[in-house]
Structures are given as structure tokens and as C-alpha cells.
Amino acid sequence: MTRHPEGPDAAQKTPRSGPDDDRADALTVTALLNCLVREVARPESGQDDGHRLYRLPTTGHLLRVRAGRYPGHPALYTAGGWLPLSLDPLVALTAEELTAYTGVSNGTLADEIRHSRDVVATLLSTRTATANPFQPAATATPFPAAQTSPIELFLRSEQALVAGHRYHPAPKARGGLGPDSWLPYAPEARARFPLTLLGVPPEAVLEEGDPTALDGLGPPPPDGGLLLPAHPWQLELLGGPPALRDGRLRYLGESTAVAVPTSSLRTVYLPDADLFCKFSLDVRITNDVRRLWSRDLRRLTTVDGLLRAVFDDLPAHLPRPSVLSDRGYRTVDLGDGGEALAVIVRDGLGAHLRPGLTALLAAGIGEGFPGNPLDGLDEDRALTWWQRYLELVVPPVLHAYLRHGVVLECHLQNVLIGVDVTGTPAQAIFRDHEGVKLVTDRHPAVPGVGAAYGWERLVSCLVTNNLWEIAGAIEERHAGLGGELWARARELLAGYAGDHAPIRALLAASHVPAKANLLLRWLGADGGEMRCAPVPNPLRPVAGRHRNRDYGHRY
């Protein structure tokens, strides 16, 4: 079945000026409903013509919401019957409930949601109007896409997230800035651009690890300094080239290598150099200002050293994943500890992806793009695809935590899947050291987290974010397959339960944690703060699901 990259909710219509505005409203409504239903509203018994009913607990309002992976068409129960809610009334209703629910008012989130909606509308119209070097076909095609190189498919999957985080109230907000500021650098608009090259005298450079790959992005500075590539948007946010008044910096022009922004926007891939570079961006995107904070830079090489060895003792019968090394960073201190112009050097795909495989972003697979390997699978092949995905992703994540006290941030944007010529998963690749947490009991010399917090974070990333969304994408194509998908996930996890109490507790739990992004933004929490809401555990056994299959993955 063909799927639109923006999901079925893209067809929902609300009274705006054009089809892209309608779709942007619908996608924004879906994200807000996801948050409201997950974090605040309480389900009422019964359904109403394919819709579910929810009570807002503090104000008492009753909502009717279209059921499904992409909830939509909200309506408020009134004395005159069901009143359909477009985006603005839904935002107002949410603000009323959250003010009463938390006792805290928030004067900025409503504008942030509307700004996110405007960004989505711009992205949709840009994708319609602009030729795409990585996406010659406008409709989904079974894997592999004809006349499409592995790099093109990879970049297609990275740049597919027009709707953004499906469980964030303002997933595409870009600091309230207009399109002239961010559109030239937007992955969803299929941007490509050169990096700005700066020269820094050696005595002014701050670096750690191995950032020497940066030296290959341009000729050496004429005064014997070191090369510091910069994201052009970050320079603009700092005030443009005049911000380089610091006499230690010299403008050296632009890189010849083209940078392609990935799903995170501030991380770019340079295909010709086979290198990823992660930059600072002084813009709030989802829950945080995307600056490379000095606290994270200071721990980078420690985390990288642990991740280089964390799978060395993985049991031989388990498929071994790879980790893209954040091998070092380089920056210059502008009075901010080096945060503003920091750049992290990350391994490219070549040293990690097994020959003959194509790397795809898991988040892109969940959202959909032309060439998605889930398209065109029958039920049996879809189950095989899912089984292989589970076997590649779940065991190493559990191994890192249970054996080494390392909490991988294995959400969908941090997992790449290498697929073979049939589109079947054959390799897992993890990335992004910034979100990795270390359990203090195992790593007392490094700032870390408690075991309980680490496990909650791991379950939220692995089960609620990752597996939930991939299973949802499969079930969207094969209605009714969800029970079998989760039975297989439970079966695999059960192989670990005998020796590990956290997994036994997970399988027995009625609920699992989900990051509460709406409440975090409403309360103005720090970007790295974790607050979870309970959601029904999809791993709990349900009568009628199959039993007693041995998948051979006991830990």
C-alpha cells in the first residue's frame, strides 16, 4: 500500500488558505492531540463512530478524537452537541486545561505551536515547488527504488521528517524565526550548502579527541593556524561575519564539499568526505536550545571510549551493531567556554556500514519516504522484517545497560538500519554520544544517573519511541498485525527476563514511561530534563497472541 510521507493525517482539512496550510494544521493538531491524550487526558469508556472519548481531568471538558496512529478531527462536547475544533481552539482548550492542571500559566507555548505550524506549511510548499536531488519520484515505491543510489536513499530517509516529533506540541518550531533565516538549512526542504571555513591560530584552539578530519575540508590557513568549519546559520545567529570581530578568527571562504543537513538539522553529512559534523545552533528546537554545551563536550571522549568497547563482549550468537564514533571536537572560546562555534567530528558511514547494505534512518522508515523498505511487503514478509529489526536493535541496547551501565539514547533519530538488497534489516548502527547516559554505580568518576532513572530513560527511548513507532508503521500497512508484532517483541525480551529483574518488571508492568514533552514545555523545564507519563504497555500479553516460539536469543 502506498503511504504519503506525511502520513494519513495530511488529508485532514481545516479552514486555511490552501492545501499546504490545511495539511500543516492537520499535522500540528495530530502532534498536540498525541501529547494531550498521552500526558493529561483520561480515556472514557466506549467509542463513538470510530472515535475515542477523553476527559480533561481538571476542566472536565469531554473530547472526541478520531482513533488511530494519527489522531485527528477533535471535537468538544457542548450543550448543542459535538463542536469540531480547529487548531486555534484546540490550543486554547489545551492552555486552559494545563493552567488548571499545573497551577502554572505559560504565555509562550501557544505562539510556539503556531510557529511550528507555520514552519510545517512552509516546508510542505517548498517540497512541492522545489526539485529534489534525492527524490525523483513523488510517490512511494517498493525497495529498492529504481535508479536510486544508497546515499540518495539514506539522505531521503534523513530528510523525510516534515511532521517532526509526533509527540511534541511544537515539533518544528525554529525559535520564532522566519523562513529567510532557517529555510536554506532545513533538511525537510532538501537543503544543501557549503560550510563556512574559519582559520584559528593554534594557541586559540580548544579541542579534544581526534578532530583532524576537519583539516581535510579546505586548504590550511596561510598563517599556520587550524581549520574550523562553521555552520553558516550559526554564524548568522551570532550576527553574521561581523561577529568574527574576534581578531583570532579569519574568514577563509567556503568548503568545496557540500553539506547535507540530517534529521537533527544541526548535524550535516558531507558525502564526498564521508563525514558527519555536528554544530551548535542557538535556536530552541523541541525541548532544548541546540547549542553544544560545554558540559557535554567535556564528557565526549569518555563516552566515546566506552562506546568503542561496549559491544566487545556481546555474546557471539547476537548480531553485532556498530557505533558512529563522535571522535573529537574543535572550537574557539568566544567567552562562552567554546560552545558557540564548537563542531563535533563524527564517523561517516564507510567505516561502519557492511558492504552491500544501504543505511536508512529508523525515523524515516517510521514516517515514510519513496523507497521505504516497508512498502510493498505482504504480512509474512512484514513479520520477518520486524523480527529481524528486533534482533538487531533490542539485544545490544539491553547489553549496553545490563552489562556496562551505558544508557543508549536509542530513539528513532539515533538509530540507522542497514538493509540488504531486498530491504531486510541486516545491521544496526547507533549514533550521537550527547544523549548517552552513564549509570553512576558503574561509572562513579563521570557525572551520571541512577540506575532507576537510566532504566526509565532506556524504556522510554526503546519501547515507547522506537519500537512503538516502527510497529505502528507496519500495522498501518497491515491492520490487525499489531498483536503478533508485540508478541514477538515480548518473546525476545522474555529470553532475558530470567536473570534480570528490570526486564521481568517491564514485561509485567501495566504501563511504560513516555517522555511528557507537553508538560515539560509548559513548565519551562530544562532541555535535558526527563519527565514521563505512563502509557499502556504494548508488551503485556493479550489473549490470542501466539506463544511458545523460540527465537534463540537468551542473554
Q: Could you write out the DSSP letters of every residue in 256-323? A: EEEEEE-TTSSEEEETTTTEEEEE---SEETTEE----HHHHHTHHHHHHHHHHTTTTS-TTSPP-EE
pLDDT at 3 (0 to 100): 31
Task: Say whether pLDDT at 554 is over 50.
Answer: no
Q: Kindly tell me if the per-residue pLDDT of 336 is higher than 90.
A: no
Q: What is the pLDDT of residue 527?
A: 62
Q: State the pLDDT at residue 543.
A: 55
Question: Three cell numbers at 331?
Answer: 572550537
Does the structure show a pLDDT above 80 at 77?
Answer: yes
Q: Where are the alpha helices (DSSP H) in 344-433?
A: 362-367, 379-404
pTM reported for the whole predicted model: 0.91
Cell numbers of 111, please? 505562539
Tracing cell 500543516 back to the chain, one arrives at: 24
- Report residue 544's pLDDT band, with 50, 70 and 90 as the boundaries: very low
Region 120-137: mean pLDDT is 72
Q: What does the block give as the cell for 296?
A: 557535554
Would you call 326 exposed, middle or buried from its count of C-beta atoms within 10 A (0-12, 13-18, 19+)?
buried
Q: What are the tens digits of pLDDT across the range 257-274?
A: 999 999 999 999 999 999
> What are the backbone dihedrals phi and psi of residue 82, each rounded to the nearest 5 degrees, phi first?
-80, 125
Average pLDDT value for residue range 475-481: 95
C-alpha cell at 121: 506549511
Q: Which domain holds residue 28?
A: 8-145
pLDDT for position 145: 60
pLDDT per residue as tens digits for the range 142-175 = 677 656 899 999 999 999 999 999 999 999 999 9
| Largest separation between any pair of C-alpha atoms in the chain | 77
- For the chain, the distance separating the N- and C-terminal CA atoms, rounded to the nearest angstrom, is 37
pLDDT higher at 245 or 206: 206
Average pLDDT score, the chain: 89
The pLDDT-based confidence of 218 (bands split at 50, 70, 90) is very high
Burial-class residue 522 by CB neighbours within 10 Å (0-12, 13-18, 19+).
buried
Share of the chain above pLDDT 70, in %: 89
Residue 459, pLDDT above cutoff 80: yes
Grid cell 544501504 in the structure block, residue:
358
Q: Quick check: is 36 in a domain?
A: yes
The answer as to whether 544 is a domain residue is no
Which residue in 498, 514, 157 sits closest to 359, CA to CA?
157
pLDDT on residue 530 = 79
Question: Residues of 147-173 as b/e, b for ≥16 C-beta within 10 angstroms?
Answer: ebebbbbbbbbbbbbbbbbbbbbbbbb
Q: Which residues pair with 358 in a beta bridge?
A: 419
Asked if residue 46 is part of any domain, the answer here is: yes
Nearest Cα neighbor of 354 from 417, 431, 410 is 417
Note the helical H segments in 183-241: 232-237
Q: What's phi and psi for 11, nearest 5 deg?
A: -85, -10
pLDDT at residue 6 is higher than 50: no
Nearest of 175, 162, 164 to residue 126 by alpha carbon = 162
Residue 23 confidence (pLDDT) above 90 = yes
Q: What grid cell was written down for 411?
A: 530513539
**Closest to 382 (Cα-Cα) out of 520, 287, 477, 507:** 477
**How high is the pLDDT of residue 17?**
62
Q: What is the CA radius of gyration of the chain?
A: 23
pLDDT of residue 289: 86
Rounded mean pLDDT, 401-423: 97
CATH number for 23: 3.30.310
Cell readout for 429 is 548502527
pLDDT at 8: 34
Give the model's confidence band at 248: pLDDT under 50 very low, under 70 low, under 90 confident, else very high.
confident
247-251, 353-357, 443-447: lowest mean pLDDT where? Answer: 247-251
Asked if the structure places residue 521 within a domain, the reply is: no
Q: What percent of the chain has pLDDT over 90?
A: 79
Query: What's the pLDDT band for 334 if we cut at 50, 70, 90?
Result: confident
The number of folded domains in the chain is: 1
Query: Is the per-residue pLDDT at 4 higher than 90?
Result: no
- For every residue of 166-189, which 3-state class applies, written as one string? CCCCCCCCCCCCCHHHHHHHCHHH
> Residue 15 above 70 pLDDT?
no
User: How do 250-261 and 275-279 pair as beta strands?
Assistant: unpaired
In this structure, are residues 519 and 39 in contact, taking their beta carbons and an 8 Å threshold?
A: yes
Q: Rounded to an integer, what distance in angstroms lies between the CA atom of residue 514 and that of residue 124?
A: 29
**Mean pLDDT (whole number) for 337-366:** 96
Q: Which DSSP symbol is given to 218?
A: S
Q: Give me the count of residues in the chain.
A: 555
Q: Is 356 within the bounds of a domain?
A: no
